[in-house]
Structure 1
Amino acid sequence: MVEKGAKTVPAAKSAAGKSPEKKKRDNRPRNYTLGNGIYRFSRTRMYHKKALWKFVGKKTAKPEKVKRATHVEKPIKGDNNGGKRLVLLKKRKAYYPTTDGIKKKPAKKLFKDHVRNIRPTLQPGTVLILLAGVHRGKRVVLLKTLKTGLLLVTGPFKVNACPLRRVHQRYVIATSLRLDISKVKIPLRVNDAYFKRQRKTQPKKEEGEIFDVKKETYKASDIRKEDQAVVDKQILDIIRKNPEKKSIFGYLGSMFGLRSGQLPHKMKF
């Protein structure tokens, strides 16, 4: 028994004169795993620990939604008028179209509006190796990238007979050889529409001309020949000024090919 007025004695300190340290709080959950999928407490034990039995069958009442009035009752004067009438708070439209209007849909991103991601090795002036098409195996000079993402290349035509063409970047290999074509002026009309074929409408054939079918062969127009000569002259002048012009002309004029044992993914071009 402790007498009234007696002072309480503080807890005994340790031999070193310090109070015993408090246990650090463990941040682990109450029911943690002991390993191999075994938990400290079973599902039944946790059911009672969390007092889940209190909530079995308990249902909370949903709050009632306030219904907004749509009509207002107004008195009507006069005989044989019913005395009252329901009037809409929100009036309906006075005009309804006979056909449904065209709904505006979000515009699809067309191919012409796509962002073109070009490989960083495909810079203007880089010598490329063509891998597909009529001129596959030839080495050409990259002039620029067009709006559609296709590459504008040229042989030059006097070196390897490859004219101005559009090539997809998938079908080329970029080499380490690069020419300085910053001063080359390409005609402004050389764009994607420039390479579109113009097909003429054939007249209706009579009975005797059914089997007289002639295949139309492609012939370059005078405009293309003129543009080809302008571009080739500028590129040839750049190559001639290069101290290694002989090796560059020989490199552009030769065809690319692989021999047995040569692995393209281990070669440096």
Structure 2
Amino acid sequence: MSTPSAKTTTKATAKQPQQTLASTSGAGAKVKKSKATATGKKVINSHSNRTLNNNGLMRFSRGRMFHRRALYRISKWKTDQAKLKGDKTKKTAGSIQKKKTTPALKKKPIGGDRNGKERLVRTKRFPRFYPTEERPKKFSVKRKRFGDHPRRFRSTLTPGTVVILVAGKHAGKRVVVVKHLSSGLLLVTGPHKLNGVPLRRVNQIYVIATSTKLDLSSAKFDNLDDKFFKRVRPAKKNAEKDIFDSKKEKTPLSAERREAQSTTDVAVLNAIKAHADSRLLRRYLKSRFQLWNGVLPHKLKF
């Protein structure tokens, strides 16, 4: 016969594994239960799309996911809410009056003896295209336009400095910097009377600054800007008439451009006269810059 002490010992031993499991899992821990139906199949979340393989091919198409997520219902609910806000007589979303429901399918007559005469067709067709994104992203462009970029000039290229042109039609000639333009270019002149260089816009990359400078502080060149140098395009000619006319006509300089050239030349020549070495400076501007054998350019002082 089994004694009461033996029964208690057997019960205690049976309860031990349950206590150890509880202690390992912790007091606040929750045991995850796998979602399954009565038959034992796993429940799939209808809102999530899954990849079939590593190539990025999705299980459901874009249109299928549109219906699985029921986005069309959300848009319909939003329109009903907007109507409620407009109509002040109705108070809550629950008080929306039920409209007459139209049937999903309707009968459509079809011609032909062997086609069955009638066919069931959807009253509202599904949309052919679905939105790629639920909420389209707004991209903010932080780049500035080229016109808004800050213009920086070298400290040596102040108005009145004599510079050497390195490239272009007048390469090797010495010219005078007249003004800094808003486009980042330098406005230079020969002057035209001394070396034949007219008013030109030059990039500061193609210029070597020298130590000789003129005082142009008294002269004003407010009318000379980038718009002043804008080219005027000639009118288009008839292509049929001018097939054999291969000569290109040069556009003559306007009276305004000639006047601006003469006024700037006068201001620069007056500054040359006021200079201490005016004779030597005139000869300096007329001569070209050249490199001879034995002259090391890195040892030159301009």
**Same fold, TM-score > 0.5, yes or no:** yes
* CA distance in 2: counterparts of 1:151 and 1:120, whole angstroms: 13
Instruction: Give the AA of the match of 2:234.
Output: K
SS at match of 1:209: coil
Instruction: Give, in angstroms, the shift of residue 263 of structure 1.
Output: 2.1
Determine the structure 2 residue equivalent to 1:134.
Answer: 169
Q: CA deviation at 1:154?
A: 0.7
Determine the structure 2 residue equivalent to 1:179: 214
SS at match of 2:292: coil
Q: Which amino acid aligns with 1:149?
A: G
The aligned residue for residue 10 of structure 1 is none
- The amino acid that maps onto 1:92 is K
- The 2-side partners of 1:226 and 1:173 are apart by 28
Q: Indicate the residue corresponding to 2:265 in structure 1.
A: 232
The residue aligned with 1:190 is 224
**Taking structure 1 as reference, are residues 259 and 61 closer, same or farther at Cα in structure 2, changes over 3 Å only?**
farther
Greater helix share, structure number: 2
* Aligned length, in residue pairs: 180
C-alpha distance in 1, partners of 2:251/2:262?
19
Offset at residue 110 of structure 1 (A): 1.1
- 2-structure distance, mates of 1:61, 1:161: 92
> What amino acid maps onto 2:260 in structure 1?
D
Aligned-residue offset at 1:218: 4.3
Shift of 1:61: 7.1
Residue type of the alignment partner of 2:270: D
The SS at the match of 1:181 is coil
For residue 244 of structure 2, give the secondary structure of its aligned residue in structure 1.
coil
Match of 1:75 in 2: none
Gaps of 5+ in 2: 1-27, 33-73, 84-130
Correspondence for 2:78:
92
Correspondence for 2:183: 148
TM-score, normalization by structure 1: 0.60
**TM-score of the two chains, using structure 2 as the length reference:** 0.54
Residue 253 of structure 2 is aligned to residue 220 of structure 1: yes
Shift of 1:118: 1.2
Structure possessing the higher relative contact order (Cα contacts under 8 Å, 6 or more residues apart): 1
- AA aligned opposite 1:266: K
**Cα deviation per residue 1:222-263 (whole Å; 9 max; x = unaligned)?**
111100111111111121122210000000111111111222
Number of the residue aligned with 2:277? 244
Aligned mates of 1:104, 1:177 — CA distance in 2: 51
| 3-state DSSP of counterpart to 1:228 | helix
Matched, 1:122 2:108: no
Q: Quick one: distance in 1 between partners of 2:227 and 2:293?
A: 42
Superposition map of 1:22-61 within 5 A: none
Q: For 1:148-183, what per-residue CA distance to the aligned partner results, in whole angstroms no more than 9, with x for missing partners?
A: 110011111111111111000100000000111111
- Stretches of structure 1 that go unaligned for 5 or more consecutive residues are 1-59, 65-87
Match of 1:3 in 2: none
Asked whether the 8 Å contact 2:163–2:175 carries over to 1, the reply is: yes
> Given the alignment of the two structures, is residue 211 of structure 1 paired with residue 197 of structure 2, yes or no?
no
Alpha-carbon distance between aligned partners in 2 of 1:137 and 1:181, rounded to the nearest angstrom = 23
Aligned residues with identical type, % of pairs: 47
RMSD after superposition: 2.9
Q: Which residue of 1 aligns with 2:233?
A: 199
**2:275 matches 1:268:** no
